[in-house]
Amino acid sequence: MKNEATNIIETVQLGRPINPNSNRQQRLIELETKRNNGELKKGRPINGESNRQKRLAEMEAKRVNGELKRGRPVNGESNRQKRLNEIEAKRAAGELKRGRPAMVKKEVEIEAILEVMAAK
């Protein structure tokens, strides 16, 4: 028979002991409770009366109304826009061929093969 030894593992907390009454621990607990309640505010507060906030609100209102568009405006007189308009007009008229041209099949060869097979 084997002698089975029972291993007892003791867990020891590493590092310095935590003093729950210290100022730092009290502040950490307070921050955690504020974070859980959604009351924790980070960063610089926004001043709603500032000129930048007024300008941002004005631009957002214009954007909602469609008066202000985002991004660079399109120049309709550029060569690219002219080319795109021509392609779109051809596509609308049904004159634009799509994709790669199909391979031309020779009808004569197919008919000759069918005649040979029918003769057998």
Q: Which positions ≥6 away from 81 have C-beta within 8 Å?
A: 74, 75
Least Cα distance to 55 among 43, 68, 44 occurs for 68
* pLDDT digits (tens), the chain, 120 positions: 556 667 778 888 888 888 999 999 999 999 999 999 988 888 898 999 999 999 999 999 998 998 887 788 899 999 999 999 999 999 999 888 778 877 777 666 677 777 888 887
